Amino acid sequence: MALNDIEALLIVLLRSGSSIISISDEDEDEVPLDGMWTELRSQILRLPHEDLARFPAIALNCAANVPEGKPISPHFYNLIADITDVQYAFRVVSLSDVSYAPVSSSSHNNLAAAVIPLDQFLGLLPRLIQGIGLRSLRWVTKMSSGTDPEGLEHDTVMAGLAFALARSGRLSDPELASIDELAIVRLFGALHYSRQAGMEAANDLLTRAILALNEQILAARNPTMPNHIMNILRDSAVPGVHTFAETLIFLINRADDLPTQVMVLKAIYIILATNAPLFFTNDLRVLLDVVLRRVLALELQDVGLRQAFLRVLRLLYPTVAPYKAREVMQTAHHIQCAEALGIDPDSVRIACDIASSVELMASAS
């Protein structure tokens, strides 16, 4: 199949809202939609290298021509996951603890050399974020009627793809601005309902997608770009924000890769700094235990990560004092004493602040 034929088929599939496509006036010539997407995937991966390199631009254009009010088929996002190096992107950020498998991974081809770099589809992210939120509304409808939503495997793929895309490159400011507050509210809603539906992998990946999207906003060239994520986190009534906070503690307790730890610590720091009422007292104590354990386990060269943990600890301790006051003081003194061993001055300075805070609160009580 030539590239033009692939483009024409993709347009038809994106326009179709049914489970079958009629290719003639005869009923027997109706083809199941799943089968058509599978065939499209197969044909794309058979393209010559020069045509394969042109496909991302075609896919982005076809997706952009889908009317804004109409969700893009989840089959399309599954297709993108199958023909890109998304699985390698996951390995790069050490997501071995996340259960992620594209729906059609069995066809993950003998064409390893032909997969398309994921960052070429970065422009799909705003529409994908909207699509995840819209599909979550379907979960609500299904669960409220007492029936289980179908096709949840697609939702896991979409969540994973959103996270991987957000980590694959940098959105332009206009692309970021197109992800409005309603889309983010619905994304948090998807996180909430994924927990209710028992979709652990989707829940984990959606949390990471929100974290990665927050990184995109923080890196925006326009300093006045509104941070809808942090604005929403200040409203504890929004469905999903408490789920997000709980998952942050879960992630910081088990994540081993640097990017995830840094993203999680940034989010926790902002939540604590803005006094957003998202963490229960027991959650904060668990968080303190995790921070104390992990900060002492860091190597000398883990400068940025150590500072991130200590900045969180500096804000965290006053919220749970006098819980673990002795351990917090011991940790602060340990870092202060390690200055002679070459620990960075900023970590020592933050540790001094923490020790002073412990002493001040002890004297006040």
DSSP lists the bridge partners of residue 116 as: 84
Give the model confidence (pLDDT) of 263-300 as tens digits: 999 999 999 999 989 999 999 999 999 999 999 999 99
DSSP string computed for 91-144: HHTT-TTS----TTGGG--S-GGGPBPGGGGGGGHHHHHHHHHHHHHHHHHHHH
And the tokens for 29? 């010539």
- Alpha-carbon distance of 241 to 247, in angstroms, equals 10
pLDDT of residue 310: 98
Reported confidence tier of residue 176, pLDDT bands at 50, 70, 90? very high
Task: Identify residue 311 by its one-letter amino acid code.
Answer: R
pLDDT in tens, 139-175: 666 666 655 555 667 888 899 999 999 999 999 999 9
Q: What mean pLDDT do residues 216-227 have? A: 93
Summary mean pLDDT of the chain: 85
227 within 8 A of 274, measured Cβ to Cβ: no
Report pLDDT for 201. Answer: 87
The confidence score (pLDDT) of residue 197 equals 80
pLDDT at site 22: 42
Mean pLDDT lowest for which of 42-51, 193-202, 324-333, 345-354? 193-202
Domain boundaries of the chain, sorted by first residue: 75-279, 290-365
Contact 36, 20 (CB under 8 A): no
Q: pTM of the prediction? A: 0.87
In this prediction, what percent of the chain has a pLDDT beyond 90? 66
At residue 134, the pLDDT reads 87
In this predicted structure, what is the pLDDT of residue 108? 40
Which of 66-80, 144-158, 239-253 has the highest mean predicted lDDT (pLDDT)?
239-253
Which stretch, 26-30, 131-135, 213-217, has highest mean pLDDT? 213-217
Range scoring the smallest mean pLDDT among 46-60, 68-82, 158-172: 68-82
Q: pLDDT > 70: what percent of the chain?
A: 84
For the cut 80, the answer to whether the pLDDT of residue 187 exceeds it is yes
Residue 54 has pLDDT above 70, yes or no: yes
pLDDT confidence of residue 151:
62
CA–centroid distance for 234 within its chain: 19
Residue 144 is predicted with a pLDDT of 62
DSSP 291-347: HHHHHHT--TT-HHHHHHHHHHHHHHHHHHTTTTHHHHHHHHHHHHHGGGGT--HHH
Q: In this structure, are residues 164 and 128 in contact, taking their beta carbons and an 8 Å threshold? A: no
Q: What is the pLDDT of residues 81-130, one digit of tens each?
A: 989 877 655 543 333 333 333 334 433 433 344 479 999 999 999 999 99
Q: What is the predicted pLDDT for the residue at 102?
A: 36
Task: Using the predicted structure, report yes or no on whether residue 36 has a pLDDT greater than 50.
Answer: yes
- The predicted pLDDT at position 107 comes to 38
Confidence band for 68, pLDDT divided at 50, 70 and 90: confident
Predicted pLDDT of residue 270: 92
